[in-house]
């Protein structure tokens, strides 16, 4: 009888645990930055209240509270995902991947929009004749690079890293338990996350008294609150149904996206974006400042409903994952 040591065969993949830890730390860093932005927004609110209105455009409480709430949600998300990535959890890899795809797609749309905005940026400012032209050129280049980095480079890097087969195998090796994200195809999980985020977004509209563009008019007050609450519940139902691969939820989602997109297009073809800003609580000084920065009002009308086209196309792409609900 020989005393041969039992040799454990190595994994048939390249262990990327170190890479997961590095990018997990990066997520936590992004969460910390968002957490710092929340109190900064509160400080800005306090300062604006003591700033004379004839020297600066005062910020509204509604806008600042919405920003604070948004930064807090982002901080919780990034820190949660970072911890999951460090621990090589399956759910973290799936959620980071689908959220990064959403982030990247939104970033591409915003980048295209900014391509139309940047050439006219600073064009109507009174200080233009007093400041060197090179200053505004540098500012435009800086803004373009910042947008490209935040909305293309960062999410694109996350997609490239977390979609790798070795990353997937590493998470499966270190996390043997079947997670809830494993029970839903990743393309559909992106829809689950999207409509879940949409439900929270509609709840945020309560800060603006339920402001909603409804087929040619801006609804606000009790009717607007009723609409955004109904849409928040509807999107929550869609998100839950998407996870269960319910064909009814898929059809409701497609119809809802088409109607909401059409409502936005009809509304902003008749109503100026400045009316929207005024209804959101922007002061006259703020609206005039936005106009001076060269915000493309006509381009906004086009983009107000253009977002619905890629979402509807993606829904049609995911149709193959949904089956009729059995009785």
- Pick left, alpha or beta for residue 4 (phi over 0 → left; psi -120 to 50 → alpha; otherwise beta): beta
Contact partners, residue 26, CB within 8 Å, separation at least 6: 82
* Mean of pLDDT values over 262-273: 86
Highest mean pLDDT among 68-72, 231-235, 290-294: 231-235
Three-class secondary structure of residue 218 per DSSP:
strand
Angle (CA) 86-88-93 rounded to 5° is 105
Q: What is the pLDDT of residue 288?
A: 73
Q: What is the pLDDT of residue 259?
A: 94
The better pLDDT of the pair 1, 285 is held by 285
pLDDT digits (tens, 9 = 90+) for 23-74: 999 999 999 999 988 777 666 656 655 555 444 445 566 677 777 888 899 9
Q: What is the pLDDT of residue 208?
A: 83
Angle (CA) 202-205-209 rounded to 5° is 135
Q: What is the pLDDT of residue 327?
A: 43
Q: Which two tokens stand for residue 212?
A: 């909603």
Angle (CA) 101-105-106 rounded to 5° is 115
Mean of the per-residue pLDDT values for the chain?
Answer: 82
For residue 323, list its beta bridge partners.
246
Residue 18 burial (CB count, 10 A): 9
pLDDT digits (tens, 9 = 90+) for 77-121: 999 999 999 999 999 999 999 999 999 988 888 887 777 766 666
Ramachandran angles phi, psi of 89, nearest 5°: -85, 140
CA distances in angstroms from 227 to 200, 203, 218, 235, 279, listed in the order given:
14, 11, 12, 12, 16
Contacts of residues 70-76 at CB distance under 8 Å and 24 or more positions apart, as own/partner, are 70/204, 71/34, 71/35, 71/37, 71/38, 71/41, 72/34, 72/35, 72/38, 73/200, 74/30, 74/31, 74/34, 75/31, 75/32, 75/34, 75/35, 75/38, 76/31
Residue 150 predicted with pLDDT over 70: yes
pTM above 0.85, yes or no: no
Residue 217 predicted with pLDDT over 80: yes
Q: What is the pLDDT of residue 292?
A: 67
CA distances in angstroms from 239 to 217, 242, 248, listed in the order given:
28, 5, 12
Q: What is the pLDDT of residue 55?
A: 46
Q: How confident is the model at residue 144 (pLDDT cuts 50, 70, 90)?
A: confident
Q: How confident is the model at residue 226 (pLDDT cuts 50, 70, 90)?
A: very high
- Pick left, alpha or beta for residue 122 (phi over 0 → left; psi -120 to 50 → alpha; otherwise beta): left
CA distances in angstroms from 265 to 220, 240, 311, listed in the order given:
18, 28, 15
Q: What is the pLDDT of residue 136?
A: 64
CA distances in angstroms from 176 to 24, 30, 98, 168, 298, listed in the order given:
19, 28, 21, 12, 53
Q: What is the pLDDT of residue 65?
A: 74
Residue 287 predicted with pLDDT over 80: no
pLDDT cut 90: percent of the chain above it = 45
For residue 213, list its beta bridge partners.
218
pLDDT digits (tens, 9 = 90+) for 161-213: 999 999 999 999 999 999 999 999 999 999 999 999 999 989 888 888 888 98
CA distances in angstroms from 89 to 18, 95, 175, 193, 225, listed in the order given:
13, 10, 6, 18, 39
């Amino acid at each position: 009888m020989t005393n041969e040591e039992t040799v454990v065969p190595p994994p048939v993949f390249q262990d990327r645990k170190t890479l997961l830890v590095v990018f997990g730390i990066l997520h936590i860093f992004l969460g910390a930055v968002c957490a710092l932005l929340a109190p900064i927004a509160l400080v800005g609110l306090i300062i604006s209240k003591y700033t004379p209105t004839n020297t600066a455009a005062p910020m509204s409480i509604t806008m600042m509270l919405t920003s604070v709430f948004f930064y807090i949600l982002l901080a919780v998300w990034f820190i949660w995902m970072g911890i999951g990535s460090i621990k090589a959890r399956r759910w973290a890899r799936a959620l980071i991947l689908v959220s990064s795809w959403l982030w990247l797609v939104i970033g591409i749309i915003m980048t295209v929009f900014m391509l139309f905005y940047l050439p006219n940026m600073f064009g109507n400012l009174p200080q233009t004749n007093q400041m060197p032209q090179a200053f505004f050129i540098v500012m435009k280049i800086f803004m373009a690079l910042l947008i490209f980095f935040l909305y293309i480079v960062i999410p694109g890097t996350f997609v490239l890293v977390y979609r790798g087969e070795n990353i997937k195998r590493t998470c499966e090796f270190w996390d043997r338990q079947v997670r809830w994200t494993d029970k839903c195809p990743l393309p559909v999980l992106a829809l689950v996350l999207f409509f879940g985020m949409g439900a929270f977004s509609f709840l945020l509209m309560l800060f603006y008294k339920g402001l909603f563009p409804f087929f040619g008019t801006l609804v606000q007050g009790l009717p607007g609150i009723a609409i955004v609450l109904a849409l928040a519940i509807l999107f929550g139902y869609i998100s839950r149904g998407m996870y269960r691969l319910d064909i009814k939820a898929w059809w409701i989602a497609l119809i809802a996206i088409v109607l909401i997109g059409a409502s936005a297009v009809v509304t902003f073809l008749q109503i100026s974006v400045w009316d929207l800003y005024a209804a959101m609580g922007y002061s006259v000084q703020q609206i005039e400042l936005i106009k001076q920065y060269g915000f493309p009002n006509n381009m906004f009308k086009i983009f107000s409903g253009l977002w619905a086209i890629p979402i509807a196309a993606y829904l049609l792409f995911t149709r193959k994952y949904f089956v009729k609900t059995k009785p």
